[in-house]
A = this chain, B = another copy of it.
């Protein structure tokens, strides 16, 4: 018998780790819990910045590194990577025999973790289930993971209600708020000069500029190149400095990168494979507008009162504050929205008072407490649906 419950967290990519690190910290610091991490997927890929080093630097125990990201762009490469990751994770879990498995979201990591827990009879705590983002395989994965997981730590009331309507027993569902917001407010401020120096891209104090983050939608892979081009054309025509962060490692990502490369030499554009969290948050604090389809626009931007232009179908239909405007992949519509977001003072005032439906910055300690106190018994392990 262990004196403390051993939680095995699984993390697969920078964007998700940014949300999870405060949760991992809260677990590590909890007197009744012990934390180990499995680091996999894009974390171990040089092409995505080998962010495993950042995880170690944060002081967490890395129980295993599981390489799983294939170098490819075929329709099959994500699910083949999932198979490889699953095979590795089974081995890790059989060795460590954790008391609880913990994972966030709707990527391959969420599915492999949930499958291992379900088959090996180990409770799975899943963060951020119940969200609804139509138009992406991730949406199917997220709900399937909900059906496999034993504890649902959701980030907002809509998701809590949705999960219960999907047949989950209500004792399993907790609205803890979005833990990604916990770190947001604690990130130190950088001066504009220091931020510029760290980026290698000059931004004057008070100068308006954009952040651009656009990911691929799995059902629109073939349009990925054109979608990215349309956005970049709009930004060029609007004529404003822009900091672009590379897309995720999804199929089609390579096509977007091809489009980006065509603009990389233009002076208005600064691109980065991977913007560290410190710089990222400071950029958000100073940016005039965030455009693309990043979930940061939905989740974090309202806390910082940052206007967001969400382009295309990704994030469509999600619960959001007043700071987000949705536009199609149309150059003129994007330019028009940029004008409103940057120059329309009435609009900017309405954004300045928006409130965030995704949490209050205390999610991590809530999660840790629940992991420490939930009875790990057959009621938890044997799932029933309510219909």
Contact = CB atoms under 8 A, between A and B. Distances in A.
B44 A47 contact: no
A44 to B, nearest CB: 5
Contacts of A87: 80, 83-84, 87-88
A151 to B, nearest CB: 14
A82 interface: yes
A303 interface: no
A71 interface: yes
A75 B121 contact: yes
A345 interface: no
A137 interface: yes
A133 to B, nearest CB: 10
Main SS of the interface on chain A?
helix
Nearest to A255: B46
Contact of A385 (B77, B143, B383): B143
A343 interface: no
A70 B86 CA distance: 15
A24 B122 CA distance: 33
Given A95-B64, A134-B382, A143-B147, A72 B69 contact: yes
Interface stretch (A110-118, A287-295, A367-375): A110-118
Contact of A382 (B68, B91, B219): B219
A37 interface: no
B72 A67 contact: yes
Interface in A98-122: 111, 114-116, 118-121
Contacts of A234: none
Nearest to A142: B147
A327 B127 CA distance: 39
A381 B76 contact: no
Chain A's interface size range is 35 or more
A64 B45 contact: no
A83 B71 CA distance: 15
B46 A381 contact: no
A219 B120 contact: no
Interface string A241-261: 000000001000010000000
Nearest to A122: B75
A74 interface: yes
A79 B254 CA distance: 25
Contact of A384 (B82, B86, B93, B134): B134
A18 interface: no
Contact of A140 (B74, B91, B148): B148
A84 B82 contact: no
Contacts of A90: 76, 79-80, 83
Contacts of A219: 121, 378, 381-382
B46 A162 contact: no
A165 B386 CA distance: 10
Interface of A: 44-48, 50, 64-80, 82-84, 86-88, 90-95, 111, 114-116, 118-121, 132, 134-135, 137, 139-141, 143-148, 161-162, 165-167, 218-219, 249, 254, 378, 381-385, 387
20 contacts: A44-B72, A66-B91, A67-B74, A67-B77, A67-B80, A68-B70, A71-B71, A74-B94, A75-B94, A76-B119, A79-B90, A80-B91, A83-B84, A86-B86, A91-B92, A119-B218, A134-B384, A140-B147, A161-B387, A165-B387
